[in-house]
Chain A
Amino acid sequence: MSYPEMMIKPMREDVTRLGVTELRTVEDVDQALGNMQGTAMVFVNSVCGCAAGGARPALMMALAGEGKSLDHLYTVFAGQDLDATARARSYFGEYQPSSPSFAFLKDGEVVGFIHRHQIEGRHPEDLSKVIRDQIEAVS
């Protein structure tokens, strides 16, 4: 189910204002993740208030934290940019689709994943530490 873009826009901007590049099309995704070198995070954004409402501020805190950084930061919007999201998930191997979620890649291989079930009900501050740990591990 797609939502009115007016409703989605602030949720996109919560992420893109952090310097995360939004991938809106299949071509965007292939250009970003095909033959990718280095380290990357792909945040699968979503509307769901229960989990995504905590994931976005957690991401903000994690990226603001001190420590290592990733070479590439990407996001797709599940339930909205359907083709781009499906294509991004095709790069996630046997990891099951869920949203919101975070995939961490190194030279194109998924080396870490935060599933929706690891996000649900968790306070953003706690989740930011989980994200931070993944960034440190993949860097």
Chain B
Amino acid sequence: MADGMVLHPGHDDLHGITVVVAGTSGRTYVGRWHERQPRGVVMRNVAILEAGDGDREEWLAKLRKFGVPDQHRTYVVPEDECAGVERFDG
């Protein structure tokens, strides 16, 4: 385990990585990427900013400093809702 490698064979490169998913609805999702399925992106420990519910960059900055509140243990972002994905700590 000393090399820090991902230890879950069969998962994609983002597995276990906290990401920001931009939603076509205007929602923003932050959580750990689990896997991509036909129904959408399965995420763990997810926080969601609703469209129009505050400044997105300020919200992200707060999460970067204080961490990601675990609003949803597991959440599936529907495939047609995923407008973009980037690493949270990029």
Contact = CB atoms under 8 A, between A and B. Distances in A.
Contact of B17 (A54, A57, A121, A123): A121
Interface stretch (B5-13, B21-29, B51-59, B75-83): B5-13
Contacts of B67: 95-98, 101, 113, 115-117
Contact of A117 (B4, B5, B68): B68
B66 A94 contact: yes
Nearest to B67: A96
A53 B1 contact: yes
A98 B7 contact: no
A124 B16 contact: no
Chain A CB count within 10 A is highest, among B2, B7, B15, B65, for B2
Contact of B6 (A50, A117, A123, A127): A50
A107 B35 CA distance: 42
A118 B17 CA distance: 10
B68 A96 contact: yes
Contact of B69 (A51, A96, A127): A96
A122 interface: yes
A53 to B, nearest CB: 4
Interface centre among A48, A53, A58 (most CB of B within 10 A): A53
A4 interface: no
Interface of B: 1-8, 15-18, 32, 45, 64-70, 87-89
